[in-house]
A and B are shown apart, each in its own frame.
Chain A
Amino acid sequence: MPVESLASPDQPGAAPRVALFATCLVDAMRPTVGFAAAKLLEDAGCTVHVPPQTCCGQPAFNNGDRQTSRDLALQMIAAFEPYDYVVVPSGSCGGMISKHYPELFAGDPNLAGRAERLAAKTFELVSFLTDVLGVTSVSATFEGRVTYHDSCSGLRELGIQSQPRKLLASVQGLSLVEMKDNDVCCGFGGTFAVKYGEISDKIVSEKAVNAQASEAGTLLAGDLGCLMNMAGKLSRKGSAMDVRHVAEVLAGMTATPPIGKVTPDAAAKETTPRGTTP
């Protein structure tokens, strides 16, 4: 599947060196998404590196704390600028780096250039695979109907809409059904979800209704924040719907239970007191 033009911009002929920024949420909550991203990148012929990382600074940025945002952006720039590309399994963190880092350092003679350069080589995972690497299909199997939620930053800042659908269409056994208002916000909004929890709840409740009405078994999206919000609402409502990051399905890494769920085996294993054999 790797395309012919695929090469490291620095060393023609060599595989592109991709630094994977898992995002703080994936790092802490759901490493499977990071491994799925790495697999997709490696399948497409990249070498994947994971530089030490924390957070892109988006929570600080959106809460008006410019100093912390700059500090964290600088930390990111320093750790990630040696690579050919930076790939992020999240539209909002990807957008933070590619759209907002340049804003943060605009007019700074020392840092504006570095921020711009990092921004220019940073991509959200699915758009990197399709738009940059020219990947048109994946070799994965997933039996069932899925519906896809377009997370806001990916959709409106980065123009990600057809790309995940194109790749999902190549997954064996999968059928995609669109839900109503798939491009409408899920109500997460980072700290908005807790600062204005009641409003957020109303918005995500509507999202849950639309997702369920699609009669898909699994809800997919490209941002873990939105996914945790939607999964949290669905399970609170007692819905059986599964929720996963789109990369997990594209990489065929669905052995990990869906977000907020456990497999019966794992549940049994985890709850069995140590030293007793079932």
Chain B
Amino acid sequence: MSAQSTAHSFKANATGAMADAQLTGNLKAVRQNFIDKRAKAASELPEFEALRENAKEIKNHTLAHLDLYLEKYEAKVTASGGYVHFAADAEEARQITLDICRKVGAKTVTKGKSMITEEVGLNAFLEANGVTPVETDLGEYIIQLRGEAPSHIIAPAVHLNKEQIESDFRRVHTHLDANRDLTEKTSLLTEARAVLREKFLVADVGITGANFLIAETGTSIIVTNEGNGDLTQVLPKVHVVMASIEKMVPTLEDVSQILRLLARSATGQEMSVYTTLSTGPRRKGAFSSEVDAGSREENATKKEARAQARGDVDGPEEYHVIILDNGRSAMLGGEFQDMLRCIRCAACMNHCPVYHQIGGHAYGWIYPGPMGSVLTPSLIGVDEAGHLPNASTFCGRCESVCPMKIPLPKMMRHWREREFERNLNPAIARYGLGLWAFFARRPKLYALSTRIAMKAMRLLGRGKGRFTWLLGASAWTKYRDFAVPEGETFQAKWKRERGVK
């Protein structure tokens, strides 16, 4: 079982969210913080569009040869002294993590921000098994204090305001002076830093996600703005990376292309503050022969030789990578493969008019917004998550900003097709659609019936211009008026005025 879902009650979730004035107020930050910045960053890079196309091709190529790259990656990690574990599902991923923790007798693990560990429900599982997970990303730390799931994939606490966070800190950090001043954002940050600093030092295992896994070198990359990820993976004895199969990218050069899109699309930064590469555990020192000065190239060789002789000065003693499938391999080669190009930049939800109104929790599972509306049914089933791909206006803004050019509306439509084929949509909707289709397939009958219907509607609405209530259209008129038709249909009037042309 992956993390719990309430996606089936999407409508009720959304209603609750929209009725929460504090939440809808807080959600304004999504629009304010991301949209203009992304637009500016994209417009300032002349090759932005070319990079998108390129990044799409890199990922398409990788996905087409994913098995080969996974093998190559595994071999590289192993050669550098690390361990690769393949987890078919959430349960396996959790168990592998726990086994690693138990082997080293871990009591506390620190965690960098990771959606994958959220997906597999890692924290609750570790806790239930006597290992305390501590989230070290500020947003993740806050929602951990509140016992919540992230509401956004790069800004997990975006649904909260400063005052809410302050009261959580006061509730939990009872060892601190009750009269301290926490009105400034920076004071909240400083406090979180101080509290977390202690945790970093006692952690036995550090768990991070990965933005990319590089097959060529066996490297995992995390991209952060707070630097907490670095401390998470460098200080403890053991570093565990948990990542899903589609994080694979062939080469360092490929990653450098995609990185140019990631931060720009996410936060509008050119690069995030930290881009951290880790390749295997700390290298131990080894005896090395004398190296002479020479050309530049030789100098580089010399440097590397010296490092080998001396060993790394920091880094974990053990390095594990858990590669999670959890339903993704079934997406390969099918209608939803394109979704596996996603680099989790969140641009799609930042630009989504539906997300803006309801926030991330209403979607009911780990991944909100347009990317979640495609991915969630793939991972937990369309029976559970059937609302998500339907709750879109197909405005297409998500696709237009997606750095990986993922055709999100088209894939939501594919989900609707599957639901239709399986009779999963409401009977009333099917019936309405069927009745309409019956007429629409018969142009003569259609022309006649619309002529009569529009005349009748005009009579019904005579002198008014609009209906405030209309039989059979109450789902519309509950919120807005319905215009009274002109009365004659276009085709009838055209025929009358122009004859048949």
A and B found bound together: yes
A64 interfacial contact with B, CB 8 Å: yes
Does B416 lie within 8 Å of A62, measured CB to CB? yes
Q: Which of A103, A201, A270: most chain B Cβ within 10 A?
A: A270
Interface residue stretch chosen among A160-168, A170-178, A231-239:
A231-239
B400 partner residues in chain A, CB cutoff 8 A: 156
Chain B interface, DSSP helix/strand/loop, else mixed: helix
Interface residue stretch chosen among B48-56, B104-112, B239-247, B388-396:
B388-396
Report which of A28, A66, A152, A202 forms a contact with B450, defined as CB distance below 8 A: A28
Looking at the assembled complex, report how far the CB atom of B498 sits from the nearest CB atom of chain A, in whole angstroms.
Answer: 8
Minimal Cβ-Cβ distance residue in A for B362 = A199
Minimal Cβ-Cβ distance residue in B for A202 = B357
Does A196 lie within 8 Å of B391, measured CB to CB? yes
Report which of B399, B419, B473 forms a contact with A64, defined as CB distance below 8 A: B419
Minimal Cβ-Cβ distance residue in A for B493 = A31
Quick one: given A29-B485, A153-B396, are A64 and B421 in contact (CB under 8 Å)? yes
Q: Which of A71, A198, A271: most chain B Cβ within 10 A?
A: A198
Quick one: given A156-B396, A195-B390, are A271 and B462 in contact (CB under 8 Å)? yes
Does A236 lie within 8 Å of B462, measured CB to CB? no
Q: Which of A30, A153, A184: most chain B Cβ within 10 A?
A: A184
Interface residue stretch chosen among A1-9, A116-124, A127-135, A259-267:
A259-267
Does A152 lie within 8 Å of B396, measured CB to CB? yes
Does B465 lie within 8 Å of A71, measured CB to CB? no
Quick one: given A26-B490, A30-B486, are A271 and B463 in contact (CB under 8 Å)? yes
Interface residue stretch chosen among B58-66, B300-308, B439-447:
B439-447
Report which of B11, B421, B439 forms a contact with A54, defined as CB distance below 8 A: B439
Report A240-273 CB contacts with B as 1/0, cut-off 8 Å: 0000000000000000110111100011101100
Does B489 lie within 8 Å of A27, measured CB to CB? yes
Quick one: given A66-B417, A187-B393, are A270 and B476 in contact (CB under 8 Å)? no
A214 interfacial contact with B, CB 8 Å: no
B491 interfacial contact with A, CB 8 Å: yes
The complex places the Cα of A236 from the Cα of B477 at a distance, in Å, of 9
Interface residues on chain A, size class:
35 or more
B80 interfacial contact with A, CB 8 Å: no
Quick one: given A260-B481, A267-B463, are A52 and B433 in contact (CB under 8 Å)? no
Minimal Cβ-Cβ distance residue in B for A27 = B490
Does B490 lie within 8 Å of A22, measured CB to CB? yes
B490 partner residues in chain A, CB cutoff 8 A: 22, 26-28, 30-31, 33-35, 50
Interface positions, chain B 461-501, Cβ under 8 Å from A, are: 462-466, 468, 473, 475-476, 478-486, 488-491, 493-494, 498, 501
A195 partner residues in chain B, CB cutoff 8 A: 390, 429, 475
Does B15 lie within 8 Å of A63, measured CB to CB? no
Does A54 lie within 8 Å of B443, measured CB to CB? yes
The complex places the Cα of A38 from the Cα of B400 at a distance, in Å, of 32
Report B379-408 CB contacts with A as 1/0, cut-off 8 Å: 000000000001111111101100000000
Does B466 lie within 8 Å of A232, measured CB to CB? yes
A201 partner residues in chain B, CB cutoff 8 A: 479-480
Does A257 lie within 8 Å of B488, measured CB to CB? no
B354 interfacial contact with A, CB 8 Å: yes
Quick one: given A235-B481, A257-B465, are A192 and B392 in contact (CB under 8 Å)? yes
Looking at the assembled complex, report how far the CB atom of A153 sits from the nearest CB atom of chain B, in whole angstroms.
Answer: 7
The complex places the Cα of A63 from the Cα of B11 at a distance, in Å, of 18
Report which of A26, A61, A200, A257 forms a contact with B479, defined as CB distance below 8 A: A200
B14 interfacial contact with A, CB 8 Å: yes
Report B55-97 CB contacts with A as 1/0, cut-off 8 Å: 0000000000000000000000000000000000000000000
29 residue pairs from A and B, CB less than 8 Å apart? A28-B454, A31-B488, A50-B491, A52-B443, A59-B436, A63-B420, A63-B429, A64-B416, A64-B418, A64-B421, A64-B425, A68-B441, A72-B441, A184-B353, A187-B393, A188-B393, A189-B392, A189-B393, A190-B393, A191-B429, A196-B11, A198-B18, A199-B354, A231-B481, A232-B466, A260-B466, A262-B463, A262-B465, A270-B463
Q: Which residues of A contact B (CB under 8 A)?
A: 22, 24, 26-35, 38, 47-50, 52-55, 57, 59-66, 68, 71-72, 75, 79, 103, 152-153, 156-157, 184-185, 187-204, 228-229, 231-233, 235-236, 256-257, 259-262, 266-268, 270-271
Q: Which residues of B contact A (CB under 8 A)?
A: 11, 14-15, 18, 353-354, 357-358, 390-397, 399-400, 410, 413, 415-421, 425, 429, 433, 436-437, 439-444, 446-447, 450, 453-454, 462-466, 468, 473, 475-476, 478-486, 488-491, 493-494, 498, 501
